[in-house]
Structure 1
Amino acid sequence: MFPFIIIFIMGLFLILPQQVFAIPAFARQYKVSCNTCHAAFPRLNSYGEQFADENYRMPNWRDTVLDTGDSMLALPKYVPLSIRAMAYAQVREGKYIDPVSGETEKADTDFQAPYMIKILSSAPLSDRISFYFYGILAEKGENGTVIVEDAWFSYSSIFNTGIDLMIGQFQISDLMFPRELRLTFQDYMIYRMAGITYDRGVIFSKGFDPVSIDLGLVNGNGIEENLKINSPGYKRPDHMFDNDRKKTAFGRIGVDIAGVSAGLFGLYGKQKTKLTTSAGTKSGSRYADKKIYGLDISGNVNDKVYYFFQYLYNDWGKYFDDTPNKKYQWWGVFAGVDYVYSDKVVLSVLYNYADAGDFDGTSTVYEGININTLTLTYSYYFMRNVKGIIEATYDFQSKDNDPDFVGHETKEGYILIGFDAAF
């Protein structure tokens, strides 16, 4: 009950800040420097957030389209494409451990190049409609597999109501802190653990200055294609992106007080249960309630020091088929500070903590929700859009001493050095 009391009290002081996914295509389109929207790539400044408020375009966007003599056609003068590429070398403690057999593979030193190559694009298509997408050409050693992650249309003030619409594929967690805009290599771990990253659906947004509200609905099963439609007959071409009739609803409400932003998040949906056998990696036969409650706070000091905090409380209902009368709750936080020391140097700190709660002692992979790490990152900007990073993560947890192969079987600290560029 205590977490709910905290969230209720903080809910009186909330805001929903709009976010923008700025890319170099925007800089080329409007002939401006990256630092127009970025305090330090990819971290946004206040103008970058304002850019989102105007549906991802500047007031002179019409000057950037091809003159066809047709007022009903707004084609960019060139296809707006950008590339983001990353390459790293790591020394780390983490290793692969099969959760059932305990089979282990370890590489203490690892050249991760390319770590990721992305192609990005966005353009205003009318006075009210914009489109954005990015796809991955290579990720974490998988070459030759193209994956589209963000891909959505946005429509400002549908039917002149002041309600904005976004429909497509996106990260639910972007309502709080977009993972793609973080300065650290280390992730915002509780977003991944809670399963509130990529999904397909719709978001409606409305501002009541200074309060803003977002309400959304998604399939609730990620972004994988699920079922072929074959009920009318043989070899039908379409697919169902959802694999059941259940949807996941979520929302966020907020307010901005003296430059400090805070937000209250809530989600309700269903998710397939798991079996405790095979370390919880096999699906069960039921659906369990999925409830998530969150609190986020952020702000900056003189556009130099940016701070952020996220709390998530997860109630996953009767999650295991083997224990149908037991409910499972867990919680986690992350917090960080980015200090823009100069045009060349940015220092970042990120702390990740999660408590597996009721999953402790289940001998399933969900014991691995437990995390307690501190990350320090030094970013050096050779150019506005090219940076080198040195990052170290320290793991405060002790390794498990139990006989199973799940949980904290190995430490997860690392030292990383590499490049991140967008062009």
Structure 2
Amino acid sequence: MMNNYQRSRIKCWFITINILLSTNVLAQRAWTLQDCIDYAVAHHLPIKQQDIKAKIKVLDQEMAVRERLPSVSGYANGYTTFGSSQDVFGTIRRNDNLNSNMGINAELTLYQYNYFRNQAKKAASEAEQEHIEKEILKRNLTVQLMEAYLQTLLAQALLVSQDSAMQFSQQLLDKAQKSTAVGATAVSVVAEAKANLAREKQQYQQYHKDRQQSLLKLAQLMNYPDYNNLSLAVPVAESDLLQEHTFSDISNLREEAYLHNPVFAKFRSQAVGLEVESKFVKAALFPTVKGSAGLGSTYFNAFKADNTRSFFVQSKDNFAQQLAVTVSVPIFNKGKTKRQLKQIDLNQQNIQLAIDNEKFAQQQILDKLLLELDENRKQYGIAVEASTATAQSLDYTLRSFEAGKASIYDVNTSKSNLIKAESETIRSKYTVVFNQLMLRYQIYGSIN
């Protein structure tokens, strides 16, 4: 029977094994495309920088809103004079004294053609533009991730296909060696089988390199620390990815794409900001009315004078209040306002041209994607047919080889043709998948 020490050791081993297994499972988490996008957005440094810029603009907006409030300040100062002076009668006497004053001032802008309101609107528009810039960064990053993700899946699929070809060559070599050992085939057959296996291994290593490079690129886009532990999820079923998608009229697709493209939102926000800025600039043409209020007291001490009242008594007796209204009327500012308004008008025209240019670019992208999707679907169908026919041809060649009616060179040629056909099928498949995903994202702003 086991003692307590042995039971404890066995229990510890079970716990350790469970921990290692759970750790391995976590490390080999299968990442979907959406998982990669979410992780990349959360860890992308330029997006984090854009968040900070947006927060700064929000603070600018808050400061602009608070500009309507009065500014209040307190003051206190004192100065003393030592020396002699001559009065109007020619008498020279000492004039030593101490002067001081203190109080509180408040100033408020009563009218300035809605200057502060428009200033707050302008700050709000700039804050909105910073948020839109973040969406643009996310959009560009998502497009890069889609391409890198599918490129990695393609490289992985080619690697798996090449591994199958390498195993086939190994089996063919084993058969040739056995056949040569009994004297049924020539030694040259074994040599050719070995050479073909070496070529397959060489191609496998190239595909492995491509897969690792694609995985590294994807991890770098995600800002993921260890690309070796980045395992991609099993792709969506082929029947789902390659099914015929119906799209509405091209004009409706374009309008939908404009709606989900943050670049257009950026231009619209800039146009609104320019309208506010024009009102902001026009304020320089209108009078400015400011009101101020103050209260304070003064103190004077002649040092040698008799009966000088104390500081607190003088401060109480000299206490005074002041109200003032200041009106500033602009007369001539060298035509600055007129030219600023002209600049705003030109900027508005420039934004409209930028919108038209972006619409034109968006139309070209949609037209290109629709054309490529249609042609690549046809290409994929042809590739599937070619792959099926080539597989049948290889099957007949193998039967002929086993019957002694075909050489190993014929088998290698048929197998090479099949590998090329399967590779073309895989490439066509993922090209169609990429076209579908990209088209969906360009139109609806989402991969789902």
Q: Structure 1-normalised TM-score?
A: 0.17
Larger Rg: 2
Structure with the greater relative contact order (CA < 8 A, sep ≥ 6): 1 or 2?
Answer: 2
Q: Structure 2-normalised TM-score?
A: 0.17
More helix by share: 2
More strand by share: 1
